[in-house]
Amino acid sequence: MINETLELLEKPRADEVYMLAGWRQWADAGSVSSALPNYLIEQTGARKIGRILPESFYLFQVPGTQDFLRPEIKLADGYRKELQRHENQIFYSGSAHKGLVIFTGEEPHLNAERYADVFFTIARELRARRVISFGGVYAGVPYDKDRQVSCTYSLPRLKDELKEYAVRFSNYEGGVSIGSYLVDRAEQLELEYISMYAFVPMYDLSQLSPMLKGLSVEQDWKAWYDIMRRVDYMCKLGLDLSNLETKSRELVRSVGEQIDTLENKMPDANVREFLRKAAEEFEELSFMPLDDVWQTGLDDLFKDS
pLDDT digits (tens, 9 = 90+) for 64-91: 666 667 777 788 878 888 877 889 999 9
Point out the least confidently predicted range of 3-7, 156-160, 275-279, 292-296: 292-296
Q: What percent of the chain has pLDDT over 70?
A: 92
Residue of higher predicted confidence among 47 and 295 = 47
Residues in the chain: 305
Average pLDDT over residues 196-220: 92
Residue type, 8: L
What is the average pLDDT score of the chain? 90
Give the H/E segment covering residue 287.
Answer: none
Point out the least confidently predicted range of 42-46, 53-57, 123-127, 188-192: 53-57
Q: Is 290 helix (H, G, I), strand (E, B) or coil?
A: helix
101: pLDDT strictly greater than 90: yes
Kindly list the distances between the CA atom of residue 241 and the CA atoms of 46, 199, 237, 251, 298, in Å, as whole numbers in the listed order: 16, 20, 11, 15, 21
* Closest CA relative to residue 276, chosen from 200, 203, 198, 210: 203
293: pLDDT strictly greater than 50: no
C-alpha to C-alpha distance for 106 and 109, rounded to whole angstroms: 9
User: According to the model, what pLDDT value does residue 1 have?
Assistant: 65
Q: Are 187 and 119 in contact (CB under 8 A)?
A: no
pTM of this structure: 0.90
Average pLDDT over residues 244-264: 95
